[in-house]
Each structure stands twice: as C-alpha cells, then as structure tokens.
Amino acid sequence: MTRLRRGLLALAGCLALVASTLLSASPAQAAVPDVWAFAYMDNPAPPAGSVTNPAYQWGTYRTTCPGSLITVTQIATGKYQLKLPCSASNNGIVHVTAVNNNARYCTIENWFDSGGTKLVTVLCFKGNVQDNSAFTMTYTRSSGGVGTGAHAYVYSDPAGALLASYNSTGAANAVTHTATGKWTVKFSALSTGGYDGDLQVSAVHPNDIARRCRVDNWFFSGPDYLVPVSCTDSNGVPVDTWWTASYHLKRSVFGAANPPTRLAYETNLSGAPAGSSYNSLGAANTFGASPPGRYTMVFPSVGASRTHMQVTALGGPPGYYCQLETVWAISGSTVLAPVICFNNVGVPTDNLLFSTYSSEV
C-alpha cells in the first residue's frame, strides 16, 4: 500500500509542509449522531450542581428532556463531573479542551451512565499536578446514517484495542500500537483523495494521572486516512494511555449537520490544502499569528446562538500541546477564537493545530 503524506511534524524554526500526490476516491457518507451534547465549564471552582454556561451548551437532551441543562460538580482541585441529562448511551466518545492562557491542560478520567444521565469526569492539570481550569467538553454517540460529509471516531486502550468505534461509511476503523506512546488510527474508506476535514484527539486516564495526546501527522493511503497519534506524560516523555480520536468532514465535531448549518474548521498553516479549512456558509476562514504560540482563528458568517469549540495540537516536538486561550467571541456573525500552544514545560511556543467550531443552529 502506497502512503502519501503531508509532513507536518517538523518545527525547527519554521513550520513545513511536505507536498503529496493526490489520489482519487469517492466522497464518504456521513453520520447522524444518536446522542450528542456540548458544554463550556467557565467557572474553575463551581459550586456543586452548577449549571454550565447556558450560552455554550446544547444537545439532543434539549429535545428528549425539555428544560433540562448540563450541570457540573467539582470533586477535587482540578477534577470535575458533568451531568448530561437524557444522554445515557454506549459506544460514544468524549473530547475536552482546556480554556486557559496559563499552561493548564485537561483530560478525561471516564464517562459512564447513571440511569438516563451520562456522567463525564474531567481532569485539569498544571504540570503533573491537578489544578483548576475552564474547559469545553463534547460527547457523541453515532450508529449509521448517510448524507454529505463524513464522521468517524475511536476510543482506544493503551494497547490499541478499540473500546468504542464508529465510521459513517460502515467500514471498520482500526488502531495499531506502533511504539510506547504512539499509535496509528485507520479511518477506513473515508479518504477523499486529499487532506479534507478535521481531526481531534483527547487523552483519557482512569487513575487521575496527567497525560497529553495529539495528532502527530496525517496520511491518506488508497481509500483510508491514516492518523498517527502520540501521548506523553507532563514532561513530554512518551507513555501509553487511553485516548479518543475523531474525524469530521463538512459536519460538526459531534457528527451532526443540518442542523447545525453554521460550522467551520481550519488549521493554522499558511497554504494548507483547501479541504482542511471549511466554512458551511462558504465564507473564507483566516487566522492571525502573534508569536510565540498565539493564534486567532477567524470563522466568518457562522457565529450564532449556542456554540462550541475543540482544539488539538498537530505535530511538533514531544509533549507540545494547544488549547483555547480564552473563550471565543462573536462579532456580528464572525467567530474570533484565541488559541495558544505550549511546549512541554508550559512556555508559549509556535505549533500547528486543528480547530473546529459549531453552532447549535
């Protein structure tokens, strides 16, 4: 099998792109999620049972449990449990992104059902110590569905065994453990023959241990996308852990579309393939850089109603990570999202990243 790649790993003084030859492939079909929810936990020390910011939460629970809202309880310093009403389901995944300008990062401890409620426990760290932070969280569970675009996800254990998996084409995803702290995801039958869509990765550890995970690179080979993922400890040393990864094309990060009709994603790479920057209303996304490590992602026309974002680092030296610096703003209908990247000791540092935005409408 011939591998075609865009080199996105090197970050020695400048960001590089290795050109590749495009293959032809049929567009993939798309997912319709059965259950999804998103939230923004904006109070780093919330009172028990607090409602997460109503302006930044939505999901299928709004229909199945009218009037209900996502709540959060702080269990310990840097440890939070969110309650997603009417969202109990299996085979789903969670993503989380810290919202902090001071080198905090957030991971997932676990998610499970309690009656009809989905409980999601989130951990946030400074270095290897739990510390309070704001964050965004999304949960999705899909099973079938067709249409434009595509959606796929995996939840992997440290050995690469799939604990949850979904692919809108019906093909089987796979994960291969290639070295300590390194895996390759095969999102089968999703390749468009180009670098189209967005990827997100989140670390998971059930024992409250600090872990960071990210996308190392992105290949397409025949009909498949191959996505190397790496995870490290707080010092940037590769370690095995649990993690989630997802892919979406012309759909929201949680897999839904129409609604939402207002969504966008982009990387912070000048000259990136057109398909890696998408705006559902046809506007041109842009970004501005403020070295070291700060970027403003700009999504015109799509800002409306309740909204959500996730961010994931792309390549760079081991342990580098990216997140939201502050919550995104909407000016008119333009979304302005401040993003910041850090090296493994928490110093703002230039790095590539994936960013994805969605409204609920």
- CB distance 240 to 232 below 8 Å: no
Mode of pairing for the β-strands spanning 79-84 and 117-126: antiparallel
Can you tell me which residue has the tokens 């302005």? 336
Q: Which helix (H) or strand (E) holds 360?
A: none
pLDDT at 111: 98
CB 23 within 8 A of CB 4: yes
pLDDT tens profile 71-86:
999 999 999 999 999 9
- The string of DSSP codes covering 286-331 is EEEEETTTEEEEEE-S---SSEEEEEEEESSSTT-EEEESS--EEE
| pLDDT given for residue 13 in this prediction | 33
What local confidence, expressed as pLDDT, does residue 271 receive?
87
At 147 the pLDDT is: 75
The Cα–Cα gap between 312 and 328 comes to 15
Instruction: Say what the pLDDT of residue 26 is.
Output: 32
Among residues 280, 246, 284, 287, the alpha carbon closest in space to that of 263 is found at: 280
- What token pair was written down for 245? 């990864």
The span from the CA of 283 to the CA of 214, in Å, is 28
* Per-residue tokens: 167: 């692919």
pLDDT of residue 30: 36
How high is the pLDDT of residue 145?
64
DSSP-assigned states of every residue in 162-204: EEEEEETTSPPPEEEEEETTEEEEEETT---SS--SEEEEEEE
Residues of the chain with pLDDT under 50: 1-31
Helix and strand numbers (H, E) in the chain are: 1, 29
| DSSP at 64 | H
What does the block give as tokens for 237? 């040393």
Contact predicate 247/215, CB 8 Å: no
pLDDT (tens digit per residue) in 211-251: 999 999 999 999 999 999 999 999 999 999 999 999 999 99
Q: How many residues does the chain have?
A: 361
**Tokens in use for 192?**
């468009």
The predicted structure's pLDDT at residue 204: 98
